[in-house]
């Protein structure tokens, strides 16, 4: 049996959520920020903010993961009108791929032009360190290889084309601007640029799987982000992505180390201030016209 999202007129579900939000706030965001595990404090820095619990927004999924508050927060950040997701949705929670990416099309209907995605990720690149910030230049969509794609099914022509290009998924100009911001803030020592790989979760990767992902060219691995980015590009949004390296993956059978969620949250919280400063500076310097 299919879910309501899969069986219903999808556009009506997105529109119902967007119309409810437009009726409950006079905020009209042009930038959306998705806050990953332990990074939700960024939304608390918004000025003149108003928040809504996901459970109150029509058709919105529910976030069940520790470190995800489950709120949509509207406000201003460095002069730009923004909306922040304090927590996202994952395949491993039992959500369909359409539900995972649901907010993105709602954002598009609200008038959002640029999407900033953040996540906590495991470091695959041996030159990385815990606490590094990685600007995402590309991704590997492992669930997509098995047909888990948010664009699967009849195309929503009112959002985008049937076969959207993904070779430019992460905007080069935005990455360059972010690197300038990192330089100004003195963050270059822990700022990287690399490839993010999405896996389904919720189990962390085995040693053999980590070695395979390294061979594929991935620099970091996590359980989110890619469905949101694919949907955003389908809608014509510009995308900038950041991974906080919260742990280094285990690639040796002799190692006694292991991954656990508490470490992920702790490292995310320790790097939250730097990430907040970076995103705030970045948003303030963004061009008003997304085509610039």
Is 92 one of the catalytic residues?
yes
Q: How far apart are CA 112 and CA 107, in angstroms?
A: 5
Catalytically annotated residue among 76, 81, 92, 209: 92
Instruction: Tell me, yes or no, if 93 is annotated catalytic.
Output: yes
* CA dihedral of residues 218, 174, 67, 197 (deg, nearest 10): -10
Is 37 in the active site? yes
Catalytic residue among 14, 17, 32, 37: 37
Q: What tokens were used for 43?
A: 């939304």
* Cα angle value 6/12/15 (rounded, 5°): 125
Q: Is 254 a catalytic residue?
A: no
Cβ–Cβ under 8 Å, residues 30 and 72? no
- CB 267 within 8 Å of CB 130: yes
Which residues lie across from 47 on neighbouring strands?
76
Task: Give yes or no: 90 in active site.
Answer: yes
CA-to-CA distance for 51 and 77, rounded, in angstroms?
15
SS3 250: coil
- Of these residues, 247, 268, 272, 286, which one is catalytic? 247
Convert 194-233 to b/e letters by CB count within 10 Å (16 or more is b).
bbbbbbebeebbeeebbbebbeeebbbbbbbbbbbbbbbb
| 223 tagged catalytic | yes
Q: Of the residues 43, 54, 63, 68, which is catalytic?
A: 68
Which pairing describes strands 47-53 and 71-77: parallel, antiparallel, or unpaired?
Answer: antiparallel
How far is CA 229 from each of CA 51, 137, 198, 216, rounded to the nearest angstrom? 23, 12, 11, 20
- Out of 16, 261, 263, 270, the active site residue is 261
Active site (annotated) includes residue 281: no
Among candidate residues 68, 166, 51, the one with its CA nearest the CA of residue 118 = 68
Which residue among the candidates 178, 223, 232, 286 is catalytic per the annotation?
A: 223
Which sequence positions are flagged as catalytic? 37, 68, 90, 92-93, 120, 223-224, 247, 261
């Amino acid at each position: 049996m299919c879910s309501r999202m899969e069986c219903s007129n999808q556009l009506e579900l997105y529109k119902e959520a967007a119309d409810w939000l437009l009726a409950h706030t006079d905020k009209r965001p042009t930038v959306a920020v998705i806050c990953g595990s332990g990074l939700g404090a960024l939304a608390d820095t918004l000025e003149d903010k108003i928040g809504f619990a996901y459970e109150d927004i029509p058709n919105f999924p529910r976030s069940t993961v520790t470190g995800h508050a489950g709120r949509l927060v509207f406000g201003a950040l460095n002069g730009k009108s923004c909306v922040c997701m304090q927590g996202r949705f994952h395949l491993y929670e039992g959500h369909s791929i359409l539900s995972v990416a649901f907010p993105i099309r709602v954002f598009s209907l609200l008038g959002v032009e640029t999407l900033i995605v953040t996540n906590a990720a495991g470091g695959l690149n041996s030159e990385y360190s815990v606490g590094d910030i990685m600007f995402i230049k590309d991704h590997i969509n492992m669930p997509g290889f098995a047909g888990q794609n948010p664009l699967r099914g009849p195309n929503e022509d009112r959002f985008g084309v049937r076969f959207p290009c993904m070779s430019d998924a992460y905007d080069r100009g935005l990455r360059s601007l972010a690197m300038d911001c990192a330089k100004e803030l003195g963050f270059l020592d822990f700022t990287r640029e690399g490839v993010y790989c999405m896996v389904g979760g919720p189990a962390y990767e085995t040693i053999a799987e980590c070695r395979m992902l390294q061979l594929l060219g991935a620099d970091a691995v996590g359980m989110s982000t890619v469905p949101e980015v694919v949907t955003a590009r389908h809608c014509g949004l510009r995308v900038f992505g950041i991974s906080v390296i919260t742990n280094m993956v285990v690639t040796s059978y002799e190692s006694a180390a292991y991954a656990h969620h508490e470490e992920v949250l702790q490292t995310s919280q320790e790097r939250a201030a730097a990430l907040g400063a970076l995103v705030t500076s970045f948003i303030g310097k963004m061009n008003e016209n997304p085509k610039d």
